[in-house]
Amino acid sequence: MIIDCHGHYTTAPKALQDYREKQIAGLKDPAHVPTKDALNITDDQIRESLEGAQLKFQRERGSDLTIFSPRASAMGHHIGNETTSRYWTEQCNDLIYRVCSLYPENFVGVCQLPQSPGVAPARCISELERCVNQLGFIGCNLNPDPSGGNWTAPPLTDKYWYPFYEKMVELDVPAMIHVSATCNPNFHTTGSHYINADTTAFMQFITSDLFKDFPNIRFIIPHGGGAVPYHWGRYRGLAQDLKRPPLDEMMRNNVFFDTCVYHQAGIDLLFKIVSIDNILFGSEMVGAVRGIDPTTSHYYDDTKRYVDKVPLTESDKRKVYEENTRKVYPRINKRISHKAR
Amino acid sequence: MIIDCHGHYTTAPKALQDYREKQIAGLKDPAHVPTKDALNITDDQIRESLEGAQLKFQRERGSDLTIFSPRASAMGHHIGNETTSRYWTEQCNDLIYRVCSLYPENFVGVCQLPQSPGVAPARCISELERCVNQLGFIGCNLNPDPSGGNWTAPPLTDKYWYPFYEKMVELDVPAMIHVSATCNPNFHTTGSHYINADTTAFMQFITSDLFKDFPNIRFIIPHGGGAVPYHWGRYRGLAQDLKRPPLDEMMRNNVFFDTCVYHQAGIDLLFKIVSIDNILFGSEMVGAVRGIDPTTSHYYDDTKRYVDKVPLTESDKRKVYEENTRKVYPRINKRISHKAR
């Protein structure tokens, strides 16, 4: 079985974006009182949005199940206030629930969180509980920079985040560290902000005792761990100079990289450098890079092609494609049996 | 001849840091009137600071000449105001000049700039001219984020920077894109801020027509180009989706990566991915990572060992070790003949 740990609902029906635009327009009117409002999307519209995209690619590329969350770039935690973020988040998560209900064998849900700049992460606990306990979600996407590129929140290793982490551990769900769109013109959302956030989070983990405080917490750093595998010697050396644990030891039970690296040489490096137990198959399709690579005639984000070319034992392949992901997101086991498909 | 394009004076005599501390202490006193003050460092102190460090490593590792600039993490453009930055910068550059005068065969100078948050880059022109025309420097380090991790300046591709670029072109000197220490607790100076800035600059270059406006300008993105070679497929795909020129074409005459990547697999990837004409040998020794890798028994930052193991033709080796650097920093040719040593 092949589980793709990283998919966003980037192809949601247009009514979702219309809702968001209406919500944002309301922010400009001082007399505006925010309401959640209804979102009119039919089951057929949801089916249509997926059949020609994620489901088609699952079939064509040969993956079985996608761990699916709202569009990351659209989370936009920096827009409006906590109420804006909460209503938008609930709509997005409810839509993921409907996707997973319509296609229970193809998608399992991960939630967006109602983060907002300056608002304590503890305020996201109720939405995490709702998504996990009521909607059957198996994890969340945690934004280390709700300000959208101004990096005003405390580091992920600060006690500011601890109440939320306690709930993650209690519910036994991991978080993928994933920023959203940036409003800082220095950064390009998918080109630099995403990758920078991955690299930033890893270095925060190196320099803190977070995993002493939370030995069972699990984080996925997406996009192949940002710059980390390429600069593995730098991070090993920094950890050593700073008298911190070796990287493999720090990562072991707590930090995992996905395979969202869009060329063969990058994937080869990832598998050469990072322990096989800490790599989860992921593609982020349909996502940041949508084109076809003219040098291979295949989609850049068809990461299964690259992973298939890495010389791995059958046992290691099973780890990357399924078993590691089941360990990191254990609630998936209640949803999808090992024998499915 | 082997030229190391990336070295900072990280081992400067203690009097330099004492000066800086005094300068910073003065900022807290509202009655303080900044003065440049004298810096008392003897030639012997300079010799001592280098003989056991950079010069020793040049001899041991087999490089001939280091393109040498003030300590990057100490530039601290975010500290104080424009005057603070100017006085500090002049002191640091003057000290580099003395190093290069004492060891003209071992070091050639690159300057720090008196950047300051919110102050137009054009205000750095006079110091660039002084360093190039009077002190014989061959390039500069340009900080894309003088705020030290808050990223408040316009992107490098904004016209805000153009007057400075015009002077760079007129003087025929390149800039290494190099941030300094960060005051944002999310970032670790050498672990994430440096690498993020490299990645950020590259993505800015992808999305702009800067090199149409400045066909002869040259930028070095240090630390092996940040995350770029590892995510080469992502950047190729983004450029393609955005209808921008292919990466090789965009980089060709304008963007160069150094070899400050501290493990063999990373260096191998760099040489596999990036055109040999756009790679300059660099180590950043004595710099971010000072330890010895227990798996190799060699210094992490002894990048020559890694480059020597890449299967390159003699002609390609000469490019990386010398010829590319002479093209990017042409003023070096007036200082160091091809036959030296």
Going by pLDDT thresholds of 50, 70 and 90, the confidence category of residue B246 is very high
Q: How far is CA A249 from CA A169, A273, A333, in A?
A: 20, 14, 26
Q: What is the ipTM of this complex?
A: 0.97
Residues sharing a CB contact under 8 Å with residue A74, sequence separation 6 or more, in sequence order: A17, A20, A92, A180, A181
Residues of chain B positioned with their CB less than 8 A from the CB of A289 = 233-234, 237-238, 241
Residues A212-232: what's their mean pLDDT?
Answer: 98
pLDDT score recorded for residue B57: 97
B300 inside 8 A of chain A by CB: yes
Q: Which of B188, B207, B265 lies at the smallest CB-CB distance from A272? A: B265
pLDDT score recorded for residue A123: 98
Residues of chain A positioned with their CB less than 8 A from the CB of B250 = none
> Of A127, A284, A322, A323, which is the active-site residue?
A284
Residues A227-246: what's their mean pLDDT?
Answer: 98
Greatest extent of chain A over all pairs of C-alpha atoms, in Å: 63
* CA distance linking residue A281 with residue A58, whole number of Å: 13
Question: Mean pLDDT over all residues of chain B?
Answer: 96
Minimum CA–CA partner of B272 in chain A? A265
Residues A291-305: what's their mean pLDDT?
Answer: 97
Q: Which of B155, B238, B288 lies at the smallest CB-CB distance from A191? A: B238
CA atoms within 13 A on the CB side of B148: 17
Residues A256-264: what's their mean pLDDT?
Answer: 98
CB atoms B192 and A185 under 8 Å = no
Give residue-wise pLDDT tens across range B181-196. Answer: 999 999 999 999 999 9
How large a percentage of chain A has pLDDT more than 70? 99
Q: Which of A6-10, A36-40, A166-170, B165-169 has the lowest mean pLDDT?
A: A36-40
| A339 has pLDDT over 60 | no
Cα of A318 to nearest chain B Cα, Å: 24
Pair of tokens at residue A96: 């993921």
Residues within 8 A of B (CB atoms), A 152-211 only: 153-155, 158, 184-188, 190-192, 195-196, 199-200, 202-204, 206-207
Q: Give the Cα-Cα-Cα angle A8, A9, A11 (nearest 5 degrees).
A: 130
CB atoms A224 and B232 under 8 Å = no
| A338 has pLDDT over 80 | no
Going by pLDDT thresholds of 50, 70 and 90, the confidence category of residue A341 is very low
Residues B312-337: what's their mean pLDDT?
Answer: 96
| A31 has pLDDT over 90 | no
Residues B54-63: what's their mean pLDDT?
Answer: 97
B284 catalytic per annotation: yes
CB atoms B266 and A232 under 8 Å = yes
| Beta-strand relationship, A255-258 and A175-177 | unpaired
> Of B90, B127, B284, B323, which is the active-site residue?
B284
Q: Which of A207, A273, A293 lies at the smallest CB-CB distance from B265? A: A273
A272 inside 8 A of chain B by CB: yes
| B127 has pLDDT over 80 | yes
Going by pLDDT thresholds of 50, 70 and 90, the confidence category of residue A32 is confident
Residues of chain A positioned with their CB less than 8 A from the CB of B185 = 154-155, 158
Give residue-wise pLDDT tens across range A267-284. Answer: 999 999 999 999 999 999
Check the CA dihedral A300-B274-B188-B175 and report its sign: negative
Residues B214-223: what's their mean pLDDT?
Answer: 98
Give residue-wise pLDDT tens across range A97-123. Answer: 999 999 999 999 999 999 999 999 999
Going by pLDDT thresholds of 50, 70 and 90, the confidence category of residue B341 is very low
pLDDT score recorded for residue A154: 98
Residues B210-232: what's their mean pLDDT?
Answer: 98
pLDDT score recorded for residue B271: 98
| A242 has pLDDT over 90 | yes
Judge whether B13 and B45 are in contact, CB under 8 Å: yes
Judge whether A156 and A164 are in contact, CB under 8 Å: no
CB atoms within 10 A of CB A107: 26
CB atoms B234 and A272 under 8 Å = no
The DSSP-derived string for A262-330 is: -SHHHHHHHHHHS-GGGEE-----SSS--SEETTTTEETT-HHHHHHHS---HHHHHIIIIIHHHHHST
CB atoms B227 and A230 under 8 Å = yes
pLDDT score recorded for residue B339: 56
Number of Cβ pairs < 8 A linking chain A and chain B: 199
Mutate which of A205, A234, A261 to disrupt the B interface (most B C-beta within 10 Å)? A234
Residues of chain A positioned with their CB less than 8 A from the CB of B192 = 196, 199-200, 202-204
* CA distance linking residue A141 with residue A162, whole number of Å: 16
Would you put residue B96 in left (φ > 0), alpha (ψ -120 to 50) or beta? alpha
CB atoms A227 and B272 under 8 Å = no
Give residue-wise pLDDT tens across range B254-280. Answer: 999 999 999 999 999 999 999 999 999
